Chain A
Amino acid sequence: MTDDELIWRIAGGSGDGIDSTSQNFAKALMRSGLNVFTHRHYPSRIRGGHTYVEIRAKDEPVKSRGDNYNFLLALGDSFARNPQEEAYYGNEEIKPLSENLDELREGGVIVYDAGLLDTDEIEDFDQRAEENDWHVYDLDLRGLAKEHGREVMRNTAGVGATAALLDMDLEHIEGLMEDAMSGDVLEANLQILEEAYESVKDDYEHTHDLRAPTGSHDEEQVLVSGSHGISYGALDEGCRFISGYPMTPWTDVFTIMTQHLPEMGGISEQVEDEIAAASLAIGASHAGAKAMSGSSGGGFALMSEPLGLAEITETPIVLVEAMRAGPSTGMPTKPEQGDLEHVLYTSQGDSNRVVFAPGDPAECYEQTRKAFEIAYNYQIPAIVLYDQKLSGGHQTVPEGVFDEEPNPDLGSVVTEQDLEDAVQEAGRFKRYMYDDEEGSGFGGVSRRSLPGQKGGNFLASGNEHNEVGHISEDPDNRTIQMNRRMAKLDAIREDLDENSDHQPVYGPEDAEYGILSFGSTKGVIEEAVDQINESGHSVKSMNVSDIMPFPKDEVTAFLEDVDEALVVEMNASAQFRRHVQGQLGRFGEKLYSLLKYDGNPFEPEEVVSGFESRLGGEADLSEYNVRIESATGD
């Protein structure tokens, strides 16, 4: 655990502006040339409740939250202090100081708002501070804020104090404030910022060593979340229709898209439920628009039947599934990877869908674009599966990632000339044409026409249908149509193998051990891989993003190459490991699971310890909420 990095935690009451303050501070760190990763922790309530945001910054790439943290700004909580509010919401006291101490590193720095908090009230605080060599600074942030503006501006005072203690310039912070506000509010904030800065510089003796790291970027960076990645990928693929119903954390994508669609000539619809939402996306796509919908667990459950409808009518759509801890409404604001099987298997019959699980914001962008391309070229529903951690966590990404040309191509749609020819040749257009008894020619795809195109009329039906779209229970037709739809997955796999690489491998090529994962655990595992290799073991990781169709060859090669592999995932039932075994039909003897499902994402240290406890040696896992499990079968 080195301190060439800053991991700054701002804690307080939910609804106290922690989010916006931390966003700005993260950007200021980015502007100073550092790489940044943010992690937000908040309870499922609107106001009140303990919340924090962690910002990790260093010169090298940051791929995850760190192991614990080294700087605490404890703001105190203004909530439930007036009797009316107290009567209404109760008087649960938020303890931004005591609640956060367990994870503060040795030698860490604490700034707390002495206007609201008192260390005397925390039993054994002084003793712990001494034992852990914490450097504690008390500052009446609230008083300072009140004096120059309003009490809520104590966030700003806290940032000013932070900058002073870390020897940072105020320049970037001031610049961001000027971008975000104006007039009296700006004046007051600037004054509070400077006052706090000066007072810490002048009046306090600095006993700690921690300083803000310095760095520089070769390329302009942007601070974005996975939800931004998905939204921007969709927009660049020409998606101009979104329909949804709010549900955390899917709401992030829904709101970002809605913010931009009207000005980009698109349409956003908030509708009555998720069955409607998915059905609208189908209707819009059928009429010739690039359309998307999505939800989280429970809402996605409602989309089960429309999903199958899109598949059998071969209407392209992209659905987003933002996982949170389940079952049922579970823990709305906590991440989990527990909807994998739900997304893979929901809907009746032998239904097929494409599933991508990007691992970071840049991958969210690229794979959402891929999802649209595949959905429209192959006329199949494509799902982008990610989770609450990736949804809201922000990360620095080179802006060049987004510097791509738009692709509004509708894919496998006929032209009017095609229709004229088809009518001339066959008397009519065959929407669900197959070429031979196998039905698997042209990758299973037969081109579609759009309502309004002359000569292209057909019936899209959720019932089995023949080539022209008439409902049919003819056994031969059924078999061929089934084969044709199923053939798409093989064709898509080939396409993906040729044109994209969604299974990044990290670490030494000849490593002895492997770590296998999917989705948002990518970064934390790569950090853990570095740590494990530094400590003398030899390990590499693979983060699988193509969940369906599954990249069998690549994963097989990876697993054949290592002695044993740890499958790391955030759920209790090892869904991904079972998927891997199911797809490959082997490797049971080689695979072990490291599972975490307590509502918090993995920290690198947990992965390292999990690895050591199973494969490399010995480690005590009792202090973590993780579990090791060996695979069954072969």
Chain B
Amino acid sequence: MSAFNAIGEEREIDRDEFTPEIEPQATWCPGCGDFGVLKALKQAMPEVGRTPEETLLVTGIGCSGKLSSYFRSYGFHSIHGRSLPVARAAKLANPDLEVIAAGGDGDGYGIGGNHFMHTARENHDMTYIVFDNEIFGLTKGQTSPTSPKGHKSKTQPHGSAKQPIRPLSLALTSGASYVARTAAVNPNQAKEILAEAMEHDGFAHVDFLTQCPTWNKDAKQYVPYIDVQDSDDYDFDITDRGEASEMMQEAEDALYEGTVLTGRFYRDADRPSYQEEKQATGDMPEEPLAERYFDEDYEWERSYDLLERHK
């Protein structure tokens, strides 16, 4: 029998199961978009059919990183920018886990940018949610990699001279096989996209627009939004890289002009996940590595048998 008895348990799952028994005191500000992510995630879980205990949520540091405190599952609240490397190794060690990584735009596109690029490139089978509020929330409102050009803050008093990061395009060019953008103000779409992302067999990147009423005064910044799949104005094939890329660029430009385009931008369902690639090259065991430590019959190889070459 599996050593991990919560994995693969088939039963009805209620979203309330994802609420901690004793809720920690909320540290998010009233009206914060982060509540929307938490809610959408809780709603998506039953659709995916995963129990809290077979789910591992790895977060970074920031207001966004607190997600793991309010979500009942196995959690790992790591360090600033490093949720992805922690998460992807957990997935490699036990591929049966549902692994989700989450963090802010500073966390994910700034300090953790290198890991974002490489995790996407490797196409790990996991979901990555970036709370994109165009600001550093937790450290009190500094300019972030997604803040618009000209954005003024205490650390950029004359306005930022930098172009904002293009998260969707970056994910695509890096190799993510699923890329979407949703918004806390759009709860139904958010729930559906998160469920889809988790079911996707590869690296699913969700740029999640979250308002920060405390440091970006306009809590309504992502309203009105347009769902590109629902609108007749946007007709493109999400499985076509070229079309997806063009659409992403349009969405990324439009955001700073006040038009919020959300929805699915790219999906490649055929590309094998990293784990599958690694198994194909013989670089990774078929059975979850973590199981092996509980298998009493497993014969552990000894270094003694490797000594021939040293004689």
Contacts and interface: CB of A to CB of B under 8 A. Distances in A.
A450 B93 CA distance: 11
Nearest to A276: B85
A283 B5 contact: no
B307 A457 contact: no
Interface stretch (A107-115, A266-274, A383-391): A266-274
B283 A283 contact: no
A272 to B, nearest CB: 4
Given A284-B90, A452-B4, A235 B303 contact: yes
Contacts of B3: 288, 416, 450, 452-453
Given A222-B310, A267-B92, A461-B77, A453 B6 contact: yes
Nearest to B101: A283
Interface string B68-109: 110011111111001001111111111011000000000000
Contact of B73 (A222, A283, A406, A457): A457
Interface in A446-478: 450-463, 468-471
Contacts of A399: 304, 307, 311
A289 B283 contact: no
| Most A Cβ at <10 Å: residue of B73, B96, B117, B285 | B285
Contact of A267 (B9, B73, B283, B306): B283
Q: Is the interface of A mostly helix, strand, loop or mixed?
A: mixed
Contacts of B89: 241, 243, 269, 279-284, 287, 291
A484 B218 CA distance: 46
B277 interface: no
A272 B79 CA distance: 17
Interface stretch (A46-54, A187-195, A305-313, A493-501): A305-313
B56 interface: yes
Interface residues of A, number: 79
Q: Which of B20, B55, B66, B289 has the most CB of A within 10 A?
A: B289
B282 interface: yes
B23 to A, nearest CB: 9
Contact of B85 (A275, A452, A457): A275
A286 to B, nearest CB: 6
Given A267-B289, A283-B85, A287-B89, A452 B6 contact: yes
Given A265-B285, A283-B88, A290-B293, A305 B73 contact: no
Interface in A418-469: 427-428, 450-463, 468-469
Contacts of A31: 311
Contacts of B54: 451-452
Contact of A287 (B6, B93, B306): B93
A460 B311 contact: no
Nearest to A283: B89
Contacts of A456: 53, 74
Contact of B56 (A222, A236, A287, A402): A287
B24 interface: yes
A188 to B, nearest CB: 23
Q: How large is the interface on B (under 10, 10 to 19, 20 to 34, 35 or more residues)?
A: 35 or more
Contacts of A454: 5-6, 9, 53
B158 interface: no
Contacts of A408: 292-293, 298, 300
Contacts of B117: 272
A502 interface: no
Interface in A206-247: 220-224, 228, 231-233, 235-236, 238, 240-241, 243
A173 to B, nearest CB: 14
B12 interface: no
Interface string B275-311: 0001000111101011011000010111110110011
B21 interface: yes
B307 A222 contact: yes
B293 A289 contact: yes
A427 B20 CA distance: 12
A289 B97 CA distance: 14
Given A306-B82, A452-B96, A459-B77, 17 more contacts: A222-B307, A231-B303, A235-B302, A272-B115, A272-B117, A273-B114, A279-B79, A280-B85, A287-B89, A288-B293, A402-B304, A406-B301, A408-B293, A416-B3, A453-B5, A459-B75, A471-B69
19 contacts: A232-B306, A241-B93, A262-B283, A266-B289, A267-B92, A267-B278, A267-B285, A267-B289, A286-B76, A286-B86, A286-B90, A305-B82, A408-B298, A451-B74, A452-B5, A452-B53, A452-B54, A457-B72, A470-B22
Interface of B: 2-7, 9, 20-22, 24, 52-56, 58, 61, 66, 68-69, 72-79, 82, 85-94, 96-97, 114-115, 117-118, 278, 282-285, 287, 289-290, 292-293, 298, 300-304, 306-307, 310-311
